[in-house]
C-alpha cells in the first residue's frame, strides 16, 4: 500500500465538494460477451461554500466512459485514465473528471448523464477477496464494491472519507435474459419482457448510501415486511432465514422501539465468499446462513443494523459493527437459548492478546479514531467487547435504553461523541473509565493483559 496522509492533512484540492443525491441507472447485461452497457444520470449537490467546476468519478478499471452530457443534452468534457488509489496501490479504477459547462454554486444541484460500459471482473487480487463481482449467468451483482456504476469519488480512501456520508435515492432499469431475476431492496415498479429480455425497474424506498442489484435464477418468499430472494436449491434455508429475520426484528423492536427508517427489509442471498452487507432496506446475506442454521447469528447481525442511524463521523470508526457483533450473540441467546456470549468474549480476548504484539498501531489508536487510521476491521472485536462490558456494568435495561434513544434521537445522523454523551447520561452507573479505555484511548490493551476472563475484565470497571 502506498503511503498516505491522514484525511485532515490532505490538500484542499482533494476535498470532494459534491455528493450524489439521486441516480437514474439503466443497465443492459450481455452475457455472451460478458459485458454491460449502461447510463447513469447522477444528480449531485455542491455542499461546499465555493463554486464547483468539476465532478470526479471512479468506475471499474475495465470500463470506459463513452460520453457525458448535461441534463439539457449538451456534451460535457471528460478526462479519464486508469490509475491506482493513492493510498491503496493494488486497487485500480477508471478515474474520471467531468468538466461542468458552468460552475455549480454552493447549495445548488445539477445532473450529469454518464454513458459507459465494459467488463466486470472483481478485485479479489487486491486482498478484497469478497469482491468477486463478474458477469456470469449463475450469479451477477451490480454494486459499489465492484465499481459497477460511477461513484462520485477520488481514487483515494482518505480524500473520500473527508466528505459527508452520501445518501441518495435511485431508480434503476436492469435488463437481463428473461430466465433470470433481478433482486433489489427497493420497490419493484415493473417487469417487462421483450424478445427474450426482461427489464426490471426498481426505485428506492428510502435514501441510502448504496444500491445493489443481484441477478440469478432467484426464488422469492415474503411474510409481512420481510422478503427473501434465494438461490436455486435453498428454499428450505430461505424459510429459516425469513423466520430468523422476523424474530430478530420483533426482538429488537421490543428492546429499542421501531427502527428509525421503517421496517421493510429484503434479504438477497449471494454465494459464500462474496461478503454480507446491509443498508437501510437491504441485507446481502451469504449462502452459509441459508444452509447452516448455526450461522443464523449472521442474520441477527445484519438485522440489528436497521437501528443504526447514518454515521456523521468522517471517516467513520464503524463502532456500529462492534454493536452488531455483540447484538448477534445476545439475540442468539434470547432466540435460540444457546449460551454463546461468554465463549465469544473469551475468543475475542484471546485473539486480541495474541495479535496485539504484531500491530503497534493498536496501542497508539483509540476506537474513535479507527476510521482515520484505517483500522475499522478492529471495530468488530474491540467494539463488541466494549458493548459486552457496558451490558455487564450498566445492565440490560440501560443498554436497551441507550441504543433505542440513540437510534431515535439521531435518526438523521449521529457521531461517536453523541454516543459517548448518551452513555454517560443514561447508563445509571459510572462509565468514564470504560469509555476512556475502550472508546477514547487504547487503554483496553493494558486492561486485557491483566484479565484472564471476561468476568475479570468486567470487575475492573465496577
Residue-level length of the chain? 462
CA pair distance 239, 415, nearest whole angstrom: 37
Q: C-alpha angle with apex 390: 385 to 391, nearest 5 degrees? A: 95
CA pair distance 228, 256, nearest whole angstrom: 24
Tell me what pLDDT residue 12 has.
55
Tell me the Ramachandran region of residue 460: left when phi exceeds 0, alpha when psi lies from -120 to 50, beta otherwise: alpha
Strands 181-183 and 52-60: unpaired
- Residue 272 has phi, psi (to 5 degrees) of -60, 145
Tell me what pLDDT residue 372 has.
81
Q: By 3-state DSSP, what share of the chain in percent is helix, strand and coil, each rounded to 5? A: 35, 30, 35
Tell me what pLDDT residue 13 has.
59
C-alpha cell of residue 214: 443481484
pTM, entire model: 0.78
Strands 265-270 and 282-286: parallel
- Residue 214 has phi, psi (to 5 degrees) of -100, 140
Tell me what pLDDT residue 201 has.
98
Consecutive H or E run containing 246: helix 235-256
Q: Which residues of 296-325 are buried (b: 16+ CB within 10 A; e: fewer)?
A: bbbbbbbbbbbbbbbbbbbbbbbbbbbbbb
Residue-wise DSSP of 418-439: HHHHHHHHHSSS--HHHHIIII
Q: Is residue 335 within 8 Å of residue 346, measured between CB atoms?
A: no
C-alpha cell of residue 427: 447508563
Q: What does the pLDDT profile of the chain (462 residues) look like in tens digits? A: 333 444 445 555 567 899 999 999 999 999 999 999 999 999 999 998 999 999 999 999 999 999 999 999 999 999 999 999 988 889 999 999 999 999 999 999 999 999 999 999 999 988 889 999 999 999 999 999 999 999 999 999 888 877 766 789 999 999 999 999 999 999 999 999 999 999 999 999 888 889 999 999 999 999 878 899 999 999 999 999 999 999 999 999 999 999 887 667 899 999 999 988 878 789 898 898 888 888 889 889 988 988 988 888 877 899 999 999 999 999 999 999 999 999 999 999 999 999 999 999 999 999 999 988 879 899 999 999 999 999 999 999 999 999 999 999 999 889 999 999 999 999 999 999 999 999 999 999 999 998 989 999 999 999
Tell me what pLDDT residue 56 has.
96
Tell me what pLDDT residue 165 has.
67
Report the side by side order of strands in the sheet with 140-142: 140-142, 213-216, 181-183
Any residues with CB less than 8 A from the CB of 220 and at least 6 apart, and which?
A: 181, 183, 227, 228, 229, 230
The beta strand positions in 226-320, using DSSP E, are 226-230, 265-270, 277-278, 282-286
Comparing CA positions, the residue from 391, 384, 453, 454 lying closest to residue 423 is 391
Torsion angle, CA of 340/346/348/353, rounded to 10 degrees?
A: 180
Tell me what pLDDT residue 263 has.
61
Tell me what pLDDT residue 164 has.
62
Comparing CA positions, the residue from 43, 34, 90 lying closest to residue 63 is 34
- Residue 5 has phi, psi (to 5 degrees) of -85, 150
C-alpha cell of residue 212: 445493489
C-alpha cell of residue 386: 466494549
Burial class (CB in 10 A: 0-12, 13-18, 19+), 195: exposed
Strands 109-118 and 35-46: antiparallel
How crowded is residue 59: how many other Cβ atoms within 10 Å of its Cβ? 25
What the chain holds in terms of domains, given with CATH numbers, is 17-216 (2.60.40.1730), 218-302 (3.30.2010), 308-462 (1.10.390.10)
The beta strand positions in 122-178, using DSSP E, are 140-142, 151-152, 169-177
What spatial distance separates the first Cα and last Cα of the chain, rounded to whole Å?
A: 43
- Residue 168 is classified by DSSP as B
How crowded is residue 354: how many other Cβ atoms within 10 Å of its Cβ? 9
Q: Is residue 267 within 8 Å of residue 283, measured between CB atoms?
A: yes
Amino acid at each position: 500500500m502506498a503511503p498516505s496522509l491522514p484525511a485532515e492533512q490532505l490538500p484542499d484540492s482533494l476535498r470532494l465538494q459534491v455528493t450524489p443525491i439521486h441516480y437514474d441507472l439503466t443497465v443492459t447485461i450481455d452475457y455472451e460477451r460478458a459485458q454491460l452497457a449502461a447510463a447513469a444520470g447522477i444528480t449531485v449537490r455542491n455542499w461546499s461554500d465555493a463554486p464547483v467546476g468539476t465532478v470526479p468519478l471512479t468506475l471499474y478499471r475495465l470500463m470506459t466512459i463513452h460520453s457525458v452530457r448535461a441534463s439539457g443534452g449538451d456534451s460535457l468534457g471528460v478526462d479519464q485514465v486508469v490509475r491506482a488509489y493513492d493510498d491503496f496501490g493494488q486497487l485500480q479504477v477508471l478515474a474520471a473528471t467531468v468538466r461542468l459547462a458552468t460552475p455549480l454554486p454552493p447549495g445548488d444541484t445539477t445532473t450529469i448523464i454518464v454513458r459507459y460500459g465494459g467488463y466486470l471482473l472483481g478485485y479479489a487480487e487486491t486482498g478484497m477477496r469478497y469482491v468477486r463481482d463478474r458477469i456470469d449467468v449463475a450469479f451477477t451483482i451490480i454494486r459499489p464494491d465492484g465499481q459497477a456504476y460511477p461513484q462520485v469519488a477520488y481514487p483515494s480512501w482518505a480524500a473520500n472519507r473527508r466528505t459527508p456520508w452520501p445518501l441518495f435515492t435511485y431508480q434503476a432499469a436492469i435488463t437481463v435474459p428473461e430466465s433470470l431475476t433481478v433482486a433489489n431492496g427497493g420497490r419493484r415498479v415493473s417487469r417487462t419482457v421483450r424478445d427474450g429480455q426482461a427489464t426490471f425497474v426498481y426505485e428506492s424506498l428510502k435514501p441510502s448510501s448504496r444500491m445493489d442489484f443481484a441477478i440469478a435464477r432467484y426464488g422469492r418468499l415474503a411474510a409481512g415486511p420481510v422478503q427473501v430472494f434465494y438461490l436455486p436449491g435453498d428454499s428450505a434455508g430461505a424459510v429459516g432465514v425469513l423466520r430468523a429475520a422476523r424474530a430478530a426484528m420483533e426482538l429488537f423492536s421490543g428492546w429499542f422501539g421501531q427502527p428509525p427508517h421503517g421496517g421493510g427489509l429484503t434479504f438477497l442471498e449471494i454465494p459464500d465468499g462474496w461478503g454480507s452487507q446491509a443498508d437501510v432496506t437491504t441485507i446481502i446475506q451469504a449462502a452459509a446462513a441459508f444452509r447452516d442454521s448455526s450461522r443464523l447469528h449472521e442474520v441477527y447481525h445484519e438485522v440489528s443494523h436497521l437501528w443504526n442511524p447514518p454515521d456523521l463521523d468522517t471517516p467513520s470508526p464503524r463502532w456500529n459493527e462492534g454493536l452488531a457483533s455483540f447484538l448477534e450473540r445476545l439475540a442468539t441467546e434470547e432466540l435460540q437459548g444457546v449460551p454463546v456470549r461468554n465463549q465469544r468474549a473469551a475468543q475475542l480476548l484471546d485473539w486480541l492478546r495474541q495479535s496485539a504484539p504484531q500491530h503497534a498501531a493498536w496501542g497508539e489508536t483509540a476506537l474513535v479514531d479507527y476510521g482515520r487510521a484505517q483500522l475499522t476491521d478492529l471495530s468488530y472485536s474491540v467494539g463488541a467487547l466494549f458493548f459486552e462490558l457496558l451490558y455487564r456494568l450498566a445492565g440490560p435495561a440501560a443498554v436497551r435504553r441507550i441504543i433505542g434513544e440513540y437510534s431515535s434521537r439521531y435518526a438523521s445522523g449521529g457521531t461517536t461523541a453523541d454516543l459517548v454523551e448518551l452513555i454517560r447520561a443514561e447508563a445509571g452507573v459510572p462509565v468514564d473509565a470504560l469509555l476512556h479505555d475502550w472508546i477514547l484511548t487504547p487503554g483496553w490493551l493494558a486492561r486485557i493483559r491483566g484479565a484472564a476472563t471476561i468476568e475479570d475484565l468486567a470487575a475492573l470497571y465496577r
